[in-house]
Amino acid sequence: MSYNRVIIDTFGSPEVLKFVNEDVMPEPGRGEVRIKVTVVSACFTDTMVRKGIYFGMKKKPPFSPGYDMVGVIDKTGPEASLFKIGDRVADLTVTGSYTEYICLPESSLTPIPDGIDDGEAVSMVLSYVTAYQMLNRAAHVRKGQSILVHGAGGAVGTALLQLASVMDIKVYGTGSSSKQELIHNLGAIPIDYKTESIFDRMMELEPQGIDAAFDAIGGESFKTSFRLLKRGGILVPYGFYKNSTGQGGNVAFEFLRLKLWNLLPNTKKVQFYSIGDVRKRHPEWFKEDLSALFTMLMEGYVSPVIAKRLPLREAKTAHEMIENASVGGRILLQVGL
């Protein structure tokens, strides 16, 4: 039996994403299961992997990109006993999920409760776990506090807005003009970073400063976010969007600067967040938090903003849309269509 997947055989622009047919099905090894993938996210981080600029990634093409996935177990390997054929599961794969079939260690999988749409479930895996852990495990925000979210109309940004609103937190969200309505509809106060000074506007709105800032933009944005914190406030940087989109910024220098801010006696804190590092240090947190998010989804507390669902073979179009920031929320790739 053959199957389809998307591969890159060299790093580069969206054109390097190729939809190919493979003659031989992947077979699950010891402790692994084979999953028939139903849906994956197409996310900004996938575009960094595709370009070969994802920090710390040693993998060389050819390989399939794909940071997360949802699917149904189709075959169990030797000594795999936690799941049975037909069970629906999710995982953070980092690479490899732009495919119809994937083999994964069963120990890394999180079961998906009945009654949740596959696309909504996959939206929880990378973006919502990132948002949830930044709010609860890094910044420890509490009801009544105020926070600033950059890139608030994006996949992680919209997740932060929804989760903060459930927690009764006052949120300010930055985005371009096309994202203002979405940010407002998600309960946040929008700031157009292209036409307004974020610093001046925030000083007007919150003269005492804010409790936390969530910033994956980098460069001057980190500086502004840090300056806007009140005493005891925390900056959670979690990416370098500017650097990744060729708008400047030196990642090594920025890490050094963040370290320095933490050392200075300024009553404020910086805590860089990385979903991969946190999962490595606390694998149990990942499953616990993803399961909590599935429950929130079932109970109607969150409802991911899904802007587009495209077939897997249109991964190139999805990457172009992400790189042009042309949609609010997220794009999903439906597999097997």
Ligand X SMILES: NC(=O)c1ccc[n+]([C@@H]2O[C@H](COP(=O)([O-])OP(=O)(O)OC[C@H]3O[C@@H](n4cnc5c(N)ncnc54)[C@H](OP(=O)(O)O)[C@@H]3O)[C@@H](O)[C@H]2O)c1
Stretch that binds ligand X, among 105-113, 161-169, 170-178, 255-263 (CB under 6 A): 170-178
Q: What are phi and psi of 46, to 5 degrees?
A: -60, -35
**Is residue 238 a contact residue for ligand X (CB under 6 A)?**
yes
Closest to ligand X by CB, 189 vs 325, is 325
Min. distance of Cβ 142 from ligand X in angstroms?
Answer: 22
Closest to ligand X by CB, 99 vs 244, is 244
In terms of Cα–Cα distance, which of 124, 153, 144, 141 is closest to 301? 124
Alpha helix stretches (DSSP H) within the chain: 44-51, 118-123, 129-133, 155-166, 180-185, 198-205, 220-227, 241-244, 251-263, 275-281, 283-298, 315-323
Closest to ligand X by CB, 34 vs 287, is 287
Span 275-304, contacts to ligand X by CB under 6 A: 275
Question: Encoding tokens for residue 186?
Answer: 């998600």
**Is residue 325 a contact residue for ligand X (CB under 6 A)?**
yes
Asked if 286 and 145 count as a contact pair (C-beta separation under 8 A), the reply is no
Size of the site for ligand X (CB under 6 A): 31
Q: How far is CA 1 from the centre of its chain?
A: 33
Helix, strand or coil for residue 113? coil
Span 185-214, contacts to ligand X by CB under 6 A: 193
**Is residue 322 a contact residue for ligand X (CB under 6 A)?**
yes
DSSP state of 312: G
Interatomic CA distance for residues 276 and 271, integer angstroms:
15
Interacting residue with ligand X among 14, 65, 119, 153 (CB under 6 A)? 153
Min. distance of Cβ 159 from ligand X in angstroms?
Answer: 8
Interacting residue with ligand X among 128, 273, 286, 294 (CB under 6 A)? 273
Stretch that binds ligand X, among 78-86, 135-143, 273-281, 312-320 (CB under 6 A): 273-281
Interatomic CA distance for residues 326 and 328, integer angstroms:
7
Which residues lie near ligand X (CB under 6 A)?
43-45, 48, 126-127, 130, 150-151, 153-157, 174-176, 178-179, 193, 216-217, 238-239, 241, 244, 273-275, 322, 325
